[in-house]
Amino acid sequence: MPYKKLFSPAKIANLELKNRIVMPAMGCSFAESSGEAGPRIIKYYAERAKGGTGLIITEITRIDDETGVGTPNQLAVTKPFVIGQLSRLVEAVHAYDTKLFVQLHHPGNQTPSRLIGGRQPVSASDVTCKIIGEQPRALTTEEVEEMVKKFVTGAVIAQKAGVDGVEIHGAHGYLVSQFLSPHTNKRTDKYGGSFEGRMRFATEIIMGIRTYCGPRFPIGIRMNGSDYLDDGITEEEAIAQAKYFEKLGVCYINVSCGTYDSGSTIIEPNFFQEGWKKHLAANIRKEVSIPVIAVCNIKHPSVAEQLLEEGVTDFVGIARGNLADPEWGNKAKRGEDRLIRKCLGCMECFRILNDGLPLGCTLNPVLGREFEWGDDQLVKNGDGRTVAVIGGGPAGFEAALTLRKRGFRVVLFEAKDRIGGTVALAAVPPCKAMLGELIDTMEAQLEQAGVEVRLGAPATVEAVRETGAEAVFMAAGGRPIVPTIPGIEKAITAEDVLADKAKVSGDAVIIGGGVTGLETAETLGKDHKVTVVEMLDKVGGNLYPSITMHLAQEIVKAGGSIAKGKQLVSVTDEGVTVKGTKTGEKTAIPAQTVIFAMGVRPNRPEYEAFKDAFDNRLILVGDTARPGQIFDALHSGHDRAFVYGT
């Protein structure tokens, strides 16, 4: 076993865990609208238990239906009727010798009024969360006392369902954290003022749970090692709070950091390094004798093992790693690191959740759909029949893998000397190395599945027919959009720049402020002055705001600029001419190199010939069907292959 520390048993209170992998709470919105644990969320957690996780902590679980809603389909422990279904979730997780804690949560001022029936959000004080932008009202002393009871009631309901323990969410700027932090707690009653006053809300919750659930029922707390706010919880105060919680009898401390107002410190985008905040957990662990769980943006099992060996933590929190690959634990235990789909830090999961939809993942097209689209739902009727896949990008890869799982013989044609498609280009900009690892994983998974990959082999009708294929999945990607305007022959594409097929000289103008345009600008910024021109009033497209902000800051920091609301008119010897989309006013932007990053259109090589040869058994997937991101390509390839021939 390559990771002995990671897979050694350990205890939290009276519970022995089979390993030190913890799946910390993440809002997923997979529960029923009633707050019950339905088949969707049960299957979601069961797959992570099956995948080798030692302890699962449920998503943010609602304790208050009036002001405490975190997501539209949030797990709840507010009424006794949820006990039955919650017990089924417990049984599904326990079947794999995995323990289950319920996290008790209230968002406080970090919930919009639209989620709570138009009511005004509540908080410790009337301090507004800048991200939500709605001023809360301070809970009265009597209301705080009632809120304590709701947390305790939630714990009692969870215990009756058979969970192994509860975790109080006292981090990330949510309600308990709002009482703990001087940034949000300006109260003058018994729940504010001094250190002890700010600790009182959490103290009463812990003591109440202990009273009603008994001395042996495990209670943990998730807390901030730092708010990363000037007037918030500091690293020194966090240590004092941790020591205080230990005296209260909590059985572990789950160390995280940040609030909505300190943004990406909670959920790190791709430009944060693995282990960047390990000092927060390490400093607390030195001062307490109870176990510490640390979330440190861990992607690789080797990093998890190193943190354990260094004494940073007792347990490692593998959060988004378990979203991207529910088999993270089992693959790590077998030493199959290359087969793990490692989180990219693309933030697509939380962009989707923030849009009011259930959680999704770029790399895992089955996430949240395990009940309907999981491997155990595959119709395995391939019987060795041959299907050809054209293109080894994400869509072709996922289609080939899914078809192979269904029992088809799959022959994948890739014109280049390596699979990956445009993922290889997307891996070139700074902080995108995980995409390079994705290609390694794609290769390993295809090899393990037994897919026949033909590299340097452009697909022709004759070549495909020779395989005996009954159908063709065309995943040939997209072709860069190049508009028909005066001087277009003077420009080059971002794809050619990233592939090092075209040279950039002097100042550059990039037409298109989507992900490709911004990342190309960041890549070139160290050697060139770059101007990004975008026709819309915003850049970044559907990128998560923190990533867009980072890219824009890096471009400006390097001396570049971004011109929004500008439409390209022509390319000249001196640069480009643009006009304002609202004013129509034309201006010139000087540059020696003009680069197009305006997206792609479907690439369909020999489409008519393949259509004639295979009739209705030609299936288009990925950008070949409809241009999109890696998320769209993997989902497209999976879903079309999942239903083919059923």
| Joined tokens for residue 136 | 């809360």
**C-alpha angle 174-179-185 in degrees, rounded to nearest 5:** 110
Strand partners, 473: 389, 619
- Place 83 in a pLDDT band, splitting at 50, 70 and 90: very high
| Joined tokens for residue 479 | 């072709």
Contact 39, 29 (CB under 8 A): no
In whole angstroms, give the CA distance from residue 303 to residue 328: 13
Closest CA to 397 of 630, 50, 54: 630
* Whole-number pLDDT of residue 558: 95
- Place 106 in a pLDDT band, splitting at 50, 70 and 90: very high
Q: Say whether pLDDT at 388 is over 90.
A: yes
Q: Say whether pLDDT at 2 is over 90.
A: no
Q: Say whether pLDDT at 455 is over 80.
A: yes
In whole angstroms, give the CA distance from residue 404 to residue 105: 42
- Mean pLDDT of the region 300-318: 98
Q: What is the pLDDT of residues 165-205, one digit of tens each?
A: 999 999 999 999 999 999 999 999 999 999 999 999 999 99
Using the CB atoms, write b or e for 582-606: b if 16+ within 10 Å: eeeeeeebebebbbbbbbbebbbbb
* Whole-number pLDDT of residue 119: 97
Contact 262, 227 (CB under 8 A): yes
CA count, 13 A, side-chain hemisphere, 572: 13
In whole angstroms, give the CA distance from residue 386 to residue 413: 13
Return the percentage of the chain with pLDDT > 90, whole number.
97
* Whole-number pLDDT of residue 532: 97
Which H or E run includes 478?
A: strand 478-480
Average pLDDT along the chain: 96
- Mean pLDDT of the region 217-229: 97
Q: What is the pLDDT of residues 363-385, one digit of tens each?
A: 999 999 999 999 999 999 999 99
- Mean pLDDT of the region 202-214: 98
Q: Say whether pLDDT at 450 is over 80.
A: yes
* Whole-number pLDDT of residue 572: 94
In whole angstroms, give the CA distance from residue 579 to residue 576: 10
* Whole-number pLDDT of residue 629: 94
Q: What is the pLDDT of residues 502-533, one digit of tens each?
A: 999 999 999 999 999 999 999 999 999 999 99
Contact 496, 502 (CB under 8 A): yes
- 586-590 and 575-580: which strand pairing? antiparallel
In whole angstroms, give the CA distance from residue 398 to residue 635: 8
**Which residue numbers are catalytic?**
174
- Mean pLDDT of the region 85-107: 98
- Mean pLDDT of the region 227-232: 96
Strand partners, 588: 577
Amino acid present at 26: M
The model's pTM: 0.94
DSSP secondary structure of 362-392: SS-TTTT-HHHHSGGG-----TT-EEEEE--
- Radius of gyration (C-alpha) of the chain in whole angstroms: 26
Q: What is the pLDDT of residues 535-577, one digit of tens each?
A: 999 999 889 999 999 999 999 999 999 999 999 999 999 999 9
| Joined tokens for residue 358 | 């259930």
Q: Say whether pLDDT at 392 is over 80.
A: yes
**C-alpha angle 266-269-274 in degrees, rounded to nearest 5:** 85
Amino acid present at 573: D
Return the percentage of the chain with pLDDT > 70, whole number.
100
Q: What is the pLDDT of residues 40-68, one digit of tens each?
A: 999 999 999 999 999 999 999 999 999 99
Q: Say whether pLDDT at 1 is over 80.
A: no
Who contacts 415 (Cβ-Cβ below 8 Å, separation ≥6)? 456, 457, 458, 459
Q: What is the pLDDT of residues 590-617, one digit of tens each?
A: 999 999 999 999 999 999 999 999 988 9
